[in-house]
Structures are given as structure tokens and as C-alpha cells.
Structure 1
Amino acid sequence: MKAIVITTPGTPEALQLVEVPQPQIQNNTDILIRLHAAGINPIDTKLRSRGTFYPNEMPAILGCDGAGVVEAIGAAVKRFKVGDEVYFCAGGLGKSGTGNYAEFTVVDERWVARKPTSLSFAEAAAAPLVLITAWESLYDRGRLEAGQKVLIHAGAGGVGHVAIQLAKIKGAEVCTTVSSPEKARLARQLGADNTILYKQTDFVQAVLDWTEGEGVDLAFDTVGGKIFYDTVPAVRVYGDLVTILEPNPADGNLKTARSRNLRISLEIMLTPALQGIVAAQLHQTEILEQCASWIDEGKLKIHLSQSFTLQDAPAAHKVIESGSTTGKISLIVK
């Protein structure tokens, strides 16, 4: 089969289109999926440039997100049959025999959900990682409740644009930071109650004005760096601050967060897969199943801004690394 592989970490040009053996069903609960599209996420570019989690298993096929059609099933598979359309976040972290920048992949049926019928394969492939990340950040880490006020950074980005919608589904009021009027319009279309052009406006003061000086109940940091520390004064006393990036002590300190008794949570949706935590992986499958229902009910949208052919994976990585993308990007496999 055709696949994009890396044999050593490097620039986007390290991604090479080659012929590799088609993966085979190894376990009774495995399903073979003919991929139609693969989602591209920032984790892909980091693994390509820095190395995978399994450096001794090179070459590697990247891509955590995928969507396609079930081609074959293991003897004990009960949830799917040949011909079913599916989407999932599994593999692509460097482990041999996994990855979705390819024509086929094998995934345990427990980590797979039925594809939303209203989405194209390209749209569906763009969805899983960001849906799970936003859900876990807002609902699980942040314990979001109806009526609360939420600040979501980068509301037009991959994670941010679904986070806005999940927060609204929960019944929260949403404020978000964006870099341009065009992105502000998208954020409002997705349900944001207040948009802040952070290049022109002090977002902390804007949040305090919006909350009558109190601060938001929950802030969701999808940007990292200094923004994490700058966000602290925008959160109410005893509020929550959730980040998907690792805070760097060189960018600030937590004195103000401590004085405000903030609850700080770190979110990495890859933890269950990397540590083999089955219950948490099953929870992520449930998230995809619920989100598929909401998508087909028109309550949740995936904004696919660009798609590339499989052989153009290097160009897609360059777009991701530019840091100015809106929504999500996919690779069209077939």
C-alpha cells in the first residue's frame, strides 16, 4: 500500500511517499480500515521534527486521526461489519503497524466510532483528536456547568472552534480570543458570545469588563507560553484554568494563581493510548459517539479549511507550522 513515512526526524521534506506492506489483523478485536482521509494535527509536526514516542520502531507512519470504511474484521468483532463507515483517533505516534497517512490501517474496534453520516470523510478525519481534547478539557478537567462563563483562547483554531460549540452545548456563555475580524466572524457563527481581537485589545481587561470585574469561571488555554500566565488574572477566584500545553517557568510564575486559589489542570488526550489506560480509551470512544450524534443533529460542526492529497503531506505540515490556520486540515487518501 502507499503510505507517507519518516525514517528520521526532520523538516517536512522528511515525509516520503513509499510502498509499504499492508497491515494485517493481529487480534480478534481488530478491524482493517481502508482509509479515505487522515486528519493533521500539531502533534504530527512535532513528532516529525523531534522524533516519535517509539524511536526504535522507525520508519514510522504518522497521523492519529482517520476516517474510512471497514474492510475486514477479526473473529470477535461485534460492533462493526465490513462496509461500515468509521472515524477514530488511534495510532500514529510512531508504534510499528499504526498510523493513518496511509491507504490502510488496523485498529482495535474498541477505539473506533461510526462516522457522522452528515460529514465527508475529510471532515470526519479532521474531528477526533480535537473533539476529545476539547471535551476532556472543558467537561472532565474543567468540570464545566450550565450558566458558567468560559474564556477559550484561539477560538477559530482546531481545538478552539469545537471547544466553543461544546461549551455552548453545555449551556455556558463563551468569550474567545481571535487574531482577525474574519476569525471573529467564524467564532460568532459557531456560538461565541464575545470575541476579543487580542492583537488590538488587552484580553484580560476585556474579559473583566465582560464579567463585571469577576473573571470567568473557566479559562481554556490552547496557545501556551506566556498566554497561560497572562490568563490567570482573567479567571475568577476559585476558578479553573485548563491548558493543553506544558507551562514553562521561564514565561511566568503561579503566585497570582495561588493567591486566587485557582484549580489548574493539564490536558493531554494521548495519555490513555501511551499508557494503555483502557477505561480512559473507552471514554474517548464514547466521546466520539456522542459527538457524532450532535454533528448529525446539527448541534456541532467541523470547520475544514483545507485538504491535501496524501503525497502533499509535506505542504500540509508547512501550513500547520505556519501557526495561522483556521479550523482543521485533512489529507485525502482516496
Structure 2
Amino acid sequence: MPVDTQHRPENEPRKMAAVVLQTGGPPAQSVTCRTAPIPEPAPGEALVEVHAAAVNPLDVANAAGWLGTPLPVIPGVDFAGVVVSDGDHKGHQVWGSGPALGMTRPGTHARFVALPETWLSRKPVNLTMAEAGAVGRSHLTAFETVINIMELIPGETILITGGAGMVGQAAAAIARWRGAEPIIADRRRPDGVEHFIDTSSGDLREAVLDITDGRGTDLVLDTVGGALFEPALRSLRFGGRMVGIFSAPEPRIDFSPAEIYNRQLRVTGLASVFLDGAHVAGVFDQLRPLFERGILAPPAVKTWQLEDSAEAYQTVSDGSAGIKQVLLPSGG
């Protein structure tokens, strides 16, 4: 939808098309497309015209009301677009993911978004806007957990539960770049995977021990939680380390803390919504050359117009089988 600049009273704010969450619930109930005021950048901020913005499980959780976000709000955390406000960044093609977007400040599922200049990172020249917008949260989460938190080193093994998902596939690619060996645990085997464990059958720990010659894995990235948490934990070697990411509300599970204490395991999590925005931009600065050199590749993409955003959200909620759902706020 074009910006309305004609027949507008001088004091009336300019309008844009945007997704707005009015109430928590399933996408058909919570996700609407309507006009909203174009944000005014504060000092030190830039106005970005959003050409592509992924829909993530985090956005679906936000729409469902699980994050406690004050409503109404424009959701969306990932973006690829062009800086249109005056300043040193004007005309730059940028990409990234904002930690507070869609929660404490308006998000990217709109034609325009205002962002601190320190949150901006140059888009890889070889990626389309849709591809760059699809990278976002999944690769940020993968890089932050695998490289910055776990400090993965060459020669290590890493078990990735939910490894067929977006974060899992990104983490596996980053692990291979780092010289480590990923073990994918899921119900679906992604293409090109050497070590795969079907979580719908068999014992996860025994399968990991078989792959690692009885040693156990050095690291676990748990993107699933729930019933897989304890067997994944027990798959670690002595002194191993494990990190988990956000999962939907689920029943409590029981496990013995002795499993952690007696084997000197290190277990932590990542709450990506609390990351510093400048730090996030730094991660994307590190990811850019990996994409430009062909070391990493963007996920498969399905694009949606903004007026079909509820259907895009529902597709993510249903599980999109390794395909990133991307909105095109500027019409694409």
C-alpha cells in the first residue's frame, strides 16, 4: 500500500500499511492489516522502508499473547530494507533483527520502521531483499548460541534437537563452517545431513553414544525442550555444555539435578529479546561475509503480501517444513 501523501491535512500524520496485533490469540483472531502512522525517527535513529520481514515462531508467540506484550502493537523483529531518512545511512540497504521490536517498540511487519542507527548492518550484496529478510532471527539465534555462548571449536560435536527447523539448520551450517560435526535430532531428515537421529523412534542418548563412539557429544543446542530435554542432557559427555532457546508453554518435566552436578555440565539459555541491539548488528556484520562468500546460504522462502499476514502467521504456527515465511511490506 503506497504512503498516503495526497489530500492529507497538514497536521495529520502520514500513514502506512502495517500488521497490528489487537488481542492475543490464533492468527485469524489476533493478526490484522490496517493503516498506522509512519513512525518518526528520534535523534540517533533512522527510518527504514521495509522490503522484506520474516515471520518467526517468536512473532507467532507474540500474537498468541504468550510474551505479555502490551497491545495494540505492530509485531515483527526481522527486516531487510532501505534507509530513507536523511543522514549518513540514507540509501543504504540494511538487514537485521531488533531485540525489542514488536514488543516495547513498533516492529517490522509494516512498510516503515524507525531503528537506532547502531542497530543497522549492511545487507549482503548477493542476497535479494526476501532472502536477507529470511535470515534474521534464526541465524542470529544460531550464531549467538553456537559461537558466542557455547564457543564451539573445531573438532567438537554438537547435538541439535529440532535440527530440521530454521534455527537448527542455521546452527548446523555454522557448526560446519567452524569445523565441528553436527548431529541432527528431529522427526524429519534435512537434505545433506550425515548424522541424523529420528526422535520419533529409538533412544536419543544411545544413538548419540553410538555416533560418538561412546563418548557423548560436546555440546547440545536444544530448540525443542519438553520431553527431549533430559535425554539431550544425558547425551552430553563429562564437562559438556548445553544451551536452550525459547519454547512454547509446556508441561513441567522431572529430572535429577545430579545429572548436571555429578558430570560438571554447563546448562544455560538464550533470551534473545534482551540482547543489545548494537551487539545484534555486530552479529549480522559477522554473518554478512559468510553469505557473500557462499559459506552460508539463505533458507528457502515463501513470500506474502501484507494483507495476507494472518495466513503467513498461521503457516508458521502449523510448521512450515524448512521454508521461511516472509512478508513484503513494500509490495515486493
The two structures have a TM-score, normalised by structure 2, of 0.88
Any idea what SS the aligned residue of 2:40 has? coil
Tell me the residue number matched to 2:217.
Answer: 216
Tell me the residue number matched to 1:43.
Answer: 58
Aligned pair partner of 1:67 in 80, 89, 93: 80
The 1:165/1:251 distance shift into structure 2, 3 A limit, reads same
Which segment is superposed worse, 31-40 or 200-209? Answer: 200-209
1:207-260 CA-to-partner distances (Å, cap 9, x unmatched) read 110111110000110011121112111110110011113797821223323222
Q: Could you say which structure has the higher helix fraction?
A: 1
Whole-angstrom distance in 1 between the partners of 2:24 and 2:190? 36
Question: Is structure 2 residue 322 aligned with structure 1 residue 322?
Answer: no
Aligned partners of 1:241 and 1:264 also within 8 Å: yes
TM-align CA RMSD: 1.9
Q: How far is 1:283 from its partner?
A: 2.4
Whole-angstrom distance in 2 between the partners of 1:283 and 1:205? 38
Partner amino acid for 1:17? Answer: C
Any idea what SS the aligned residue of 2:24 has? coil
Aligned pair partner of 1:95 in 95, 104, 114: 104
Q: How far is 1:51 from its partner?
A: 5.7
Tell me the residue number matched to 2:27.
Answer: 12
Whole-angstrom distance in 2 between the partners of 1:271 and 1:106? 19
The 1:232/1:94 distance shift into structure 2, 3 A limit, reads closer
Question: 5+ residue gaps in structure 2?
Answer: 1-15
Tell me the residue number matched to 2:190.
Answer: 184
Whole-angstrom distance in 2 between the partners of 1:281 and 1:3? 22
Q: How far is 1:203 from its partner?
A: 2.5
Question: Is structure 2 residue 149 aligned with structure 1 residue 148?
Answer: no
Q: Which aligned segments of 4 or more residues in structure 1 are displaced greater than 6 angstroms?
A: 246-249
Partner amino acid for 1:87? Answer: W
Whole-angstrom distance in 2 between the partners of 1:222 and 1:287? 20
Whole-angstrom distance in 2 between the partners of 1:130 and 1:196? 21
Whole-angstrom distance in 2 between the partners of 1:327 and 1:20? 29
Q: How far is 1:177 from its partner?
A: 1.4
Aligned partners of 1:142 and 1:265 also within 8 Å: no
Aligned pair partner of 2:267 in 261, 264, 281: 264
Which segment is superposed worse, 3-12 or 244-253? Answer: 244-253
Partner amino acid for 1:68? Answer: G
Any idea what SS the aligned residue of 2:145 has? helix
In the alignment of these two chains, the number of paired residues is 311
Any idea what SS the aligned residue of 1:73 has? coil
Tell me the residue number matched to 1:25.
Answer: 41
Aligned pair partner of 1:105 in 103, 113, 118: 113
Tell me the residue number matched to 2:234.
Answer: 233
Q: How far is 1:71 from its partner?
A: 0.7
Whole-angstrom distance in 1 between the partners of 2:306 and 2:258? 47
